C-alpha cells in the first residue's frame, strides 16, 4: 500500500509539472524550433500527435475520421512535407487519407505533438500532450491573464 501511495504522489508531481504553463510554453517553443529547423533544412520527419484538438479541412469522412486513433502518426515527406508550415502555433500540412487519398489540410497545435521522429529515432517528446485537460493555448488562458496581474496575487 505504501508503494502505491508513493507512485501516486510521483504521478501527481509529474502531472503538476507537465501542467505548468511555463513548462508547456518551453516544450511548445522547443517543438516549434525543431520543426522549423527540419523544414528549413529540407529534412522530412514524422510526428505522433494527440488529434483531439486537431482540425481537418475539409473534414474527413466519418469512416476515415473513425479510423484515426487519438494518437496518430503522420509522415511528413514528399508533397506533405513541402506543404508543411507553422501558423498560429500549429503545424499545418496537406495530407491524403485512405485508399482514395482523400485530401485535407491538417492543423495540429504544437502542444498536441507528442513526438517528433526521424528515421525511427525519437527527436522530441512532449508528455504533456498525453493529458486531456492540458491547456492547449497557454498564452490565451484567461486564468493566466488573471494570475499575471500583480493585484490578483491575493486570490491565487
Largest CA distance in the chain: 58
The values of phi and psi at residue 54, to 5°, are -90, 160
> How confident is the model at residue 2, as a pLDDT?
62
- What would the mean pLDDT of 122-132 be, rounded to a whole number? 85
**Distance between CA 152 and CA 156 in Å, rounded?**
7
Please state, for a pLDDT cut of 70, what percent of the chain lies above it: 74
Least confident of 4-8, 87-91, 124-128: 4-8
Name the average pLDDT for the chain: 84
Which domains, from first to last, does the chain contain? Answer: 2-150 (2.30.30.220)
pLDDT tens-digit readout, 77-104: 999 999 999 999 999 999 999 999 999 9
pTM: 0.76
Residue 115's nearest CA partner among 71, 65, 61, 55 is 71
> How confident is the model at residue 145, as a pLDDT?
44
> How confident is the model at residue 39, as a pLDDT?
97
Q: Which spans in 19-101 are helix H?
A: 21-40, 62-67, 78-83
Amino acid at each position: 500500500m505504501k508503494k502505491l501511495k508513493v507512485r501516486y504522489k510521483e504521478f501527481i508531481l509529474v502531472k503538476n509539472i507537465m501542467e505548468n504553463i511555463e513548462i508547456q510554453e518551453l516544450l511548445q517553443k522547443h517543438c516549434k524550433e525543431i520543426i522549423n529547423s527540419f523544414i528549413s533544412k529540407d529534412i522530412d520527419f514524422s510526428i505522433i500527435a494527440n488529434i483531439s484538438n486537431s482540425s481537418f479541412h475539409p473534414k474527413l469522412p466519418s469512416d476515415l475520421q473513425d479510423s484515426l486513433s487519438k494518437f496518430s502518426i503522420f509522415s511528413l515527406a514528399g508533397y506533405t512535407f513541402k506543404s508543411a508550415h507553422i501558423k498560429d502555433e500549429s503545424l499545418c500540412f496537406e495530407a491524403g487519407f485512405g485508399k482514395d487519398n482523400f485530401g485535407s489540410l491538417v492543423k495540429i497545435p504544437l502542444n498536441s505533438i507528442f513526438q517528433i521522429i526521424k528515421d525511427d529515432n525519437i527527436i522530441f517528446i512532449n508528455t504533456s500532450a498525453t493529458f486531456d485537460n492540458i491547456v492547449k493555448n497557454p498564452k490565451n488562458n484567461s486564468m493566466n491573464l488573471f494570475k499575471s496581474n500583480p493585484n490578483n496575487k491575493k486570490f491565487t
